[in-house]
Structure 1
Amino acid sequence: MAVEERETTTEEEVAPALSVSAAMGLAKNALEEVVVRLVGEVSEVNDKPGYKAVYFTVKDEKASLPCMMWMNRYQASGVALSVGALVELTGRFSLYAAKGRMNFDVFSVSLAGEGQLRLQVANLARELEAMGLMDPARKRPLPAYPEAIGLVTSPRGAAVHDVLRTLRRRYPLARILFAGVPVEGPGAADGLVDGLAKVVFAGAEVVLLVRGGGSFEDLMPFNDRRLARTIAACPVPVVTGIGHEPDTSIADMVADVRASTPTAAAEAVAPAQGEIAARIQGLGAAMGHAESRRLDALSIKMERVASLPLFREPTRLFDGEALALDDLSDRLGRALPEALREDRHRLGLIGEALGRMLPGLLSAPRGAVGAAAGRLGYLGEHFGERSRQQLDGARGRLMRAGAAMTDPYRASVAVSAARLHDLSPLAIIGRGYAMAKGEDGRVVSSVDGVAAGERLVVTLSDGELDCTVNDVRRIHSAVEAWG
């Protein structure tokens, strides 16, 4: 031991003591040689405007580490640090000699585990927001009283029972169109898209897209880009109730209404029976008041119309015409006798003038008429004699020409009459034969057309006999006998 003490003393005497700054510089150089990648949870962040770097602390269950990252590196990383985020850091240790404090100089930062998923979701949210899918102006109001409600969720979770129970309690009139789909795991997003399309095609007026609570990874199907576009393009409003109150997914952001839970989503689309009854009563009261006001206004208008002079004293409409008619009648009664008196006096004067003028006017024409009548009588006698002679000559010629024209036809008629006489049944009857006719005037040509007891009229050459058939007998003709 004595030897070791002496050797130590010798070394101390040989190696000079370092200053604090020199020791810190030595440690700084040694630490900066170590580049590591580590994972930790952010416990505090100091990112004030004007700072050249971002200062934050990461920790795990047993230790914490102060970190700093230059602002240009931080902004280039695209990560927004927040307390509680799990991050993966790459950097080296550094020592700030003036304060004797060690930092971790961060070269790069990225979210680790759920943090990376959250970063992806945040980037997708910003992209969809820039496309206008989250614009409140494009979101549609919910139908007040939907007849068909679509429900897209897992058929095995508690959410479907909560929703159906709420709808049955609040609004049992609605028809539920249910599409059971997976809500987590691979292929869940495609199933949600397909379920939405099916309930809309079946006639849903509003769609509930719901699921119960779960981890952030479990809710990732509701952060799918295709599902978000399908919700935005859906022809009917979509109401989401995904997870619990703090959980917010991309589907919630683009949906027309976002509810905190599946039960709240069902309550959003289903009015309570009490609310419906109250609304109906309110509408009925409003209709009653409106109708009462309308009837009051019509009554006032009717009274105003009834008070017009037209309806109170209708004869006043014709006062002016009646007075004018009376005046005209009076004037006409006075004017007619005077006019008739003047016309009668004028007619008398004209009659006297005609009486004086007519004898003189008629004497000359009377002589002329007598002379004309004498000449006419003389001309008429000679004119008629000549015409009578001409007429007699024309009659003789016509008689001779007519006789010559009918001679050929007279001979033809005689021949035809002789042939007609030969063919006449009367000529046959004249030779001793008879012709029988029935009561209806038909000629009986065979015994088959006559029955016993039937009345017949038998025509002879000089008259007719009314006969009754006693019996019918058939005789064979000579032709039949020879045959």
Structure 2
Amino acid sequence: MTSDPYLSVKALTKYIKKKFDADPHLRDVYVKGELSNVKIHSSGHIYFTLKDNSARLPAVMFAASARTVKFKPESGMTVLIRGDVSVYEASGQYQLYAQSMQPDGIGDYYLAFEQLKEKLSKEGVFNAVHKKPLPRYPDKIAVVTAPTGAAVRDIIITLNRRYPMAKITIFPTLVQGEQSTRSIVQSIQAANAANFDVMIVGRGGGSIEDLWSFNEEAVARAIFDSRIPVISAVGHETDTTIADFVADLRAATPTAAAELAVPSRADLLDKVINQQSSMYRVVSNLLDREKTALTKVAASMPFAYPDRLYRPFIERVERASDSLQREVFQHLNRSRERFENLDRQLANRIPVQRIKQSQADIGHLQKRLDQSAHIVLNNNKMKLSSAIRTLDALSPLKLMERGYTIPYKDGLVVKSIHQVEAGDELNVTMQDGTVEATVKNTIPTKKGCI
């Protein structure tokens, strides 16, 4: 029985891959070409196409190798790549696996430097408006550098010589190697967390590789974000780094940085002495001018004859004193007269006197009242006696004494026979009593008869 002659796509692709991997000419190849379709993945891998006028080659550079590239790969760059060629089984195409990359015709360090410089410049990081002024007389100075070596020694010696009153704090820092960038950033941040007046960041000289940590973006950002003024002192005078552009002030050497950070004690002493001498001269000249002016004033008429100066005032004071005495005397007299007048008025208005007068008035009125009452009483007595006599003369009792009677019917006086009828009951009042009677008949009186 014959076997199946057909291969699977996977099997064929694996075979081809093994052929590629087994070929020694494809294990370590050097390729020159133009970058195209460059994509930098968040993981750090770089995917791109390498091309020339006639062909295109897919390529990838994994993160471990990409971290060694100092510049940022961009489409259109001509680069020199070292790597190996193999087959990517998932797509069935061969591609270049890059292990190193450098720009063609220019160093990768220089290219990376120019790329970062251009980027930060466009952001305005280098603008003078962001530069902080250095304090004239710093009290606390932070030094971010290696704890040993010529740089830190030169800085300390220079600071102590020029301005020994300043307090120096060294932040031990790695200034080259893989961990140096992180170490520099941490030291700058630590110095900012404390209370310093100025900061020196730098190191001694070296190759561009040795100084490269000061060209890293993280260091540039840390210097830019520093609230403390930063003096950059990296390498020798001819060395220039990104840190120099970002810093508030660039020094040619660490020693120059220390000289820029603090004033010179000798210069300060000279300045103080010069100012002291200048002040002495100014004060001396001023005293001379004032003495001359005082002499002239003292020799002038008012001060040469002081009695003439105050004589008119003495006379005015004496006249004013006399006038004041007269006014006081007149005022006292007027006040005394007014007081006496008021005292007399008050004596007439004393309550005791008014009470006595009122009591006398009351006695007089009481007498008049008694007299009037006596007269009125006598008159009323006389009127009453006359009325009694008249009433007595008209009293029915007098009539009854002469034999007259008064008949009553139902309590009313009967004055006419027409008020009664036969059978009516009458009460007849007499002088000594009442008689109850019954009417038998009424007899009218004839005219002319009584």
Q: TM-score range by the shorter chain?
A: 0.3 to 0.5
Query: Which is higher, the Rg of structure 1 or of structure 2?
Result: 2
TM (normalized to structure 1)? 0.42
Judging by fraction of residues, say which structure has more helix. Answer: 1
TM (normalized to structure 2)? 0.45
